[in-house]
Chain A
Amino acid sequence: MSYADNFDRATGPFYEEVADEAQVFEAAFSRGLPIMLKGPTGCGKTRLVEHMAHRLGVALHTVSCHEDMTATDLLGRYVLNGGDTEWVDGPLTRAVREGGICYLDEIVEARQDATVAIHSLTDHRRELNIERLGGLRLRAADGFGLVVSYNPGYQSVLKDLKMSTRQRMVAIELSFPPSSVELSILVEEAGVDEALAADLVRLGQAIRRAQDSGLREVASTRALIMAAALVDAGLSFRAAALAAIAGPLTDDPALREALTVLIDTFAE
């Protein structure tokens, strides 16, 4: 079952609530407060945003941040059209004009000037300042919301999110869901039976529990869903777990061997 099959008109993208995160999200959104989603890779940050955008009935403008992204990429730029130049809104400007959620995924990856561009939007002014359009000041439309995500433990991040940026946001901390919730996520997302889902959840929990293991990251919910999908597509449990969980987690042959033993023990 693909993601598209899973898109139910009534509930939108599937998201299983763990605590009060949807409630906090809704409250913050209704008051126009920017939201910061924190959590490890693949724990459902993006899915929560998609789910909430649908639930609140607003458009979602997603920007995957990268290290070469500048304020221009968020705000908009002039492009050449024939002999003329034409202004094209960036995703942030568009969301501010039209309303809707602007979601900056992995914001720490963006350059500092891009991060600073959102500052005036995130306080009481709720205004976007576009210098390049002659200092145009856009007031955020109703139904505009700013959401950013980041992974606090991410190794390659040389710098933290600036305090002046963080302080402007409401934080929602996500982590991997408890096993019962993760089980129903696997059943729902990959369309597998409960027994297989339980086996995978058990394996995922074991990897997360192993301390001092040398792994930089642990098996994410997303990785478990992928493994479940592979089993559903006809692979054995062992092959699916190796391909979707062990392979992506490490290149170190010794660690891979250790993961293989772990998988074998749970696949037996």
Chain B
Amino acid sequence: MQEEVNTVHEVKLLANAVAGRAVDLVATDGARAWTDGHTIFLTEASERDRRGMVVAQAALIAAESFEPQIVRRLTARRRVRLRYLTLEVLRAIELLEDLAPPAVKRRVREAYSTAAPRSAGESLARASSNEPVPEAPLWMGTIKPSRILRAGPSVPETLPFVVRIAPVDEELDEDHGSGTSRMRDFLSTIGLRPPAPDTGKTLVAAGQRGAGRAGGEMVAAGRPVARSRTTRLALDSLAHMPAMLQPPGGGHRYPEWDWRQGAHRKDWCVVREHDPRSRELVAVNRSDDPRLRRELARLGLADERRRGQPDGDSLDLTALVDHVVDTSTGSSDEARVYEARTRTSHDLGVVVLLDVTGSTADSGEGAKVFDAQREVAARLIDALDELGDRVAGYGFHGWGRSGVRFARIKRFDDRFDRAAQQRLASLEPGGFTRLGAAIRHASHLLVEGSGTVNRLLVVVGDGRPYDDDYEHRYAQEDSRRALSESVLQGVACSCVSVKTDTDDEILERVWGHVPYLRLEQVADLHREVVPLFRRSLRQAASAGKDGRSTLRPHHQ
């Protein structure tokens, strides 16, 4: 099993390269490989066939072969489907021109050598005609219309949790026929209309706005707990729904800690990044906090060589020669001929991780609390960016273990400019808190992207984990574990919350071993934050040497 997973990862780069965007790969049983437009499902095959099927299926994604009105006409017509596949792979490979691997191109031509169709429509027409089109060979895989229609359009989406429902005729669906109608039921239960493709709505945000509508508050409260019998029924029948709501594209897989088993669940969570797009122009004020900047300037310092010093560890030869010249000409006899190391250079990489989940808004003053936490994130990012530290900002929320979403506010290499400020301002709280996966991904970003020795992860939020199948002790132990693992990797962790009412017991279990700050008002930030960050950085720095024993998550 493990081996199979590995072989899938190996072809990911190839699939991404041919498709021109991130594609997921999954090993599956069955005779033929297939794709739903976002994920390619691979079957057992020889090396050569495996590469062939990856290229063929990824090329179909690149060529956008899966228009719903065409795919719908392939349902329940196996022969037409496989002939269509032959023609579409031919079209896709030709479309790729130089990007197609020559060997696969030759194999496609061997399968059927003819003029390539110019469109998917032409392919369908020719596949249905009496042209002697051969059925696609085994290595090309197959097409599964129902899966494609269910997965939705293959254009990358930007909004989190955009629900798109293709108007599927039930009788055309081959398996799990009632899935879509159940989904539609569910959406109307929680006060959502199945949106038309171009007016896609953020599921959770919409639920929140529509709090007055039937069942709306269920999601607005940020908890996946069904409050009425109807919604519970809908939820039960839709245990697999979050996976169906997945936006396309790749993702980062992370394990999750199961404290009962005392083991990690491998590749359990999927974290995806996206660029939030503000629908209307949000007016933003720069969150400039000079006092905070002055405080943070003392953080994450590193050695710097300074030449021409009056004292120091080694001689500065240029200064020494100058000194000889100066004394022989009698112009000066000040002997600044040493080189010293001083702690004046900045070496600090920070990820500010803002909790944009519904639970933040889960109180009487919900909106105010979230705005205060957003302001904390803005001030931290602004001050650190201004100081020349490596800082990145992300908002996170999600639904389900494969639906953790990271909204990019500012990557390490971006400036905190108006566009970035607007991305931050446009975030609306919604969804749930898979804290462990979020911490793991943020640590990964720090380790991979910061390029600094001092690395700091700052979670801004109430610090309370909560998600689908991710509650109570399980969620708390996993979050705690994720923090410990990060610290052991040399990533300093801390949490800043404003006006939260999270239970002390939860805080103790999740955050007990790393610095946690509870603020009453944003204006206090500059006073508290540097000692907090300094404790975190010290903890991470010592973790590699002797801190391990105190950081081990407790086993039961």
Contacts and interface: CB of A to CB of B under 8 A. Distances in A.
B103 A268 contact: yes
A155 B102 contact: no
Contacts of B20: 209, 211
A155 B451 contact: yes
A254 B9 contact: yes
B250 A212 contact: yes
B327 to A, nearest CB: 11
Contacts of B9: 254, 257-258
Nearest to B449: A155
Q: How large is the interface on A (under 10, 10 to 19, 20 to 34, 35 or more residues)?
A: 35 or more
A198 interface: yes
Interface in A32-52: none
Interface in B12-67: 12-14, 16-18, 20-22, 47-48, 51, 54-55
B495 to A, nearest CB: 26
A68 interface: yes
Contacts of B12: 213, 258
Given A79-B321, A155-B451, A159-B388, A213 B13 contact: yes
A258 B22 contact: no
Contact of A210 (B16, B104, B249, B324): B16
A262 B11 CA distance: 7
B62 to A, nearest CB: 9
B397 interface: no
A164 interface: no
A7 interface: no
B318 interface: yes
Interface string B322-340: 1011001000000000000
A259 B415 CA distance: 32
B305 to A, nearest CB: 7
B535 to A, nearest CB: 24
A78 B321 contact: yes
A77 interface: yes
Contact of B322 (A132, A206, A257, A259): A132
A138 to B, nearest CB: 20
Interface string A246-268: 00000000110111111011101
Interface residues of B, number: 44
Nearest to A158: B390
A158 B325 contact: no
A80 B307 contact: no
B101 A266 contact: yes
B98 interface: yes
Nearest to B322: A78
B21 A262 contact: no
Contacts of A78: 318, 321-322, 325
B357 to A, nearest CB: 24
A166 interface: no
A266 B102 contact: yes
A2 to B, nearest CB: 28
A205 B98 contact: yes
Interface string B371-400: 000000000000000001010000000000
Contact of B388 (A132, A158, A255): A158
A254 B13 CA distance: 10
B282 interface: no
B97 to A, nearest CB: 9
Nearest to A207: B17
Nearest to A216: B448
Contacts of B11: 258, 261
A158 B454 CA distance: 13
A63 B307 CA distance: 21
A162 B99 CA distance: 39
**Most B C-beta atoms less than 10 A away, residue of A72, A211, A257:** A211
A72 B316 CA distance: 12
A77 B449 contact: no
B198 interface: no
Interface string A167-206: 0000000000001000000000000000000110110011
Interface in B90-109: 98-104
Interface in A46-84: 68, 70, 72, 77-80
B309 interface: no
B489 interface: no
B413 interface: yes
Interface in B189-217: none
B128 interface: no
Interface in A209-268: 209-213, 254-255, 257-262, 264-266, 268
Given A158-B452, A198-B98, A202-B101, A77 B14 contact: no
A160 B415 CA distance: 10
B100 to A, nearest CB: 8
B309 to A, nearest CB: 14
A36 B371 CA distance: 42
Contacts of A260: 10
Contacts of B388: 158-159
Given A202-B98, A268-B48, 9 more contacts: A68-B305, A85-B324, A158-B346, A158-B347, A209-B16, A209-B20, A211-B250, A213-B12, A265-B104
17 contacts: A155-B413, A158-B346, A159-B388, A201-B98, A202-B101, A206-B17, A207-B13, A209-B20, A210-B17, A211-B22, A254-B10, A257-B9, A258-B11, A258-B13, A261-B13, A261-B14, A265-B54
5 pairs of A and B residues whose beta carbons are closest in the complex = A268-B103, A212-B22, A258-B13, A210-B17, A206-B17
Interface of B: 6, 9-14, 16-18, 20-22, 47-48, 51, 54-55, 98-104, 249-250, 305, 307, 318, 321-322, 324-325, 328, 346-347, 388, 390, 413, 415, 449, 451-452
